[in-house]
Chains A and B, each alone.
Chain A
Amino acid sequence: MKHKWEPESCRDLPYTPIMDRPTTYNKTGVWRTYRPIVDKEKCTDCYICWKFCPDVSILIQEDGSIEIDYDHCKGCGICAEVCPVKAIEMERER
């Protein structure tokens, strides 16, 4: 079966609500009550916090250390809870 009209991409469709902008500009960091602070001395770079972060807010740097993305971190505290060496502390946001 050959159709007469074959769109090349979604741009050729009739007007359709298509979502193409990532939510990264949505700064969910303003929701935060408690701020996670990483103690770089204690941190062993095991990446367990990275694994369990529901907001993808723990970034692995090029040198292998971790950094927290405060623009998007909602301060749930999972990272501090799962850290085996307790290198992350939750501090009240001022």
Chain B
Amino acid sequence: MGKITIPEEEYMHPGHIACLGCGGALAMRYMLKALGKRTMVSIPACCWAIMHGKHPNFALGVPLVNTAFEVTGASISGIRAALDAKGIKDVNVVGFAGDGGTADIGIQALSGAVERNTNIFYVMYDNEAYMNTGIQRSGATPPGAWTTTTPVGTTQDWKKAPKKNMVEIMVAHKIPYTATINIAFPEDFVKKLQKGKDIDGPKFYHAFAPCPTGWRHPPEITVSIAKMATDSNVFPLFEVEEGKYTITRKPKKRIPVKEYLGLQGRFRHLPEEMVERIQREVDREWELLLRKEEYTADF
């Protein structure tokens, strides 16, 4: 018999209305497993705003508040302030937003919340576009990707701008803990969230969550694709504690980025030279990360 490596309690009920093979559903499941019963979640407009079901039904075992797109940061600050006024100390307050609600629309509220040094968790589950409203390009969409607002067709108008680096933005706010997490590595996911429980101050997590609908891949390979993203260094797993970088997974055998891109329909149109450019960019970022780890080793 195998060993159960992540907490056994379930706080996400089945019957939620996520698509087949949803990465965001897994992110929520692991997040609640890690933080446990004493958790309050605030969710802006994103896939999770509808996935928990319509009015009398509710897919989570913890209290949740649905807010407007821009105000996740403000709403979790408010929840924390109310808990402090009541003298409740043991509740984890979580903002759980998509990449559009974090990197584009919600960034000023988030920036304010972390600047005030509020004791909160913020999980950005990154499916790399506005998937709930129909695959529109967001700041976190990687270069080269097809979306409905960056159509390819004959104009070759795929996304040209780079992906917004939310982790570095948060590190620049000098917050105590920032980490990247991936649904393909649940043990690491749970460990990093549980680590945040002992840290007083804002904690930011960038969670990688593939979306079969928007990325145009079959639902069964969601976990394999997420694993490949880390093994090809497209999405390295690391954490930043008070400015000190630690890479938590160094892939033994690096997969070429071409293999990772090849599985997804949204990169189908990419010419060879563009793939090589993405590979060079990924290698550069990885090299930069290795050096950051080296330079900050004795902080």
Contact = CB atoms under 8 A, between A and B. Distances in A.
Interface of A: 17, 19-28, 31, 44-48, 50-52, 54-57, 60, 64, 69, 71-72, 74-78, 80-82, 90
A45 B26 CA distance: 21
A14 B170 CA distance: 39
Contacts of B218: 77
Contacts of A74: 20
A20 B14 contact: no
B271 interface: no
Interface in B174-232: 186, 212, 218-224
A81 B223 contact: yes
B220 A78 contact: yes
A20 B221 CA distance: 34
A60 B32 CA distance: 19
Given A54-B26, A54-B29, A77-B220, A72 B58 contact: no
Scoring B20, B53, B221 by chain A CB atoms within 10 A of each residue's CB, the highest score goes to B20
Scoring A17, A60, A75, A81 by chain B CB atoms within 10 A of each residue's CB, the highest score goes to A81
Contacts, number: 109
Contacts of B151: none
Interface in B21-56: 21-23, 25-26, 29, 52-53, 55-56
A72 B20 contact: no
A48 B256 CA distance: 26
Contacts of B13: 22-24, 56
Contacts of B22: 54
A45 B20 contact: no
B255 interface: no
A74 to B, nearest CB: 5
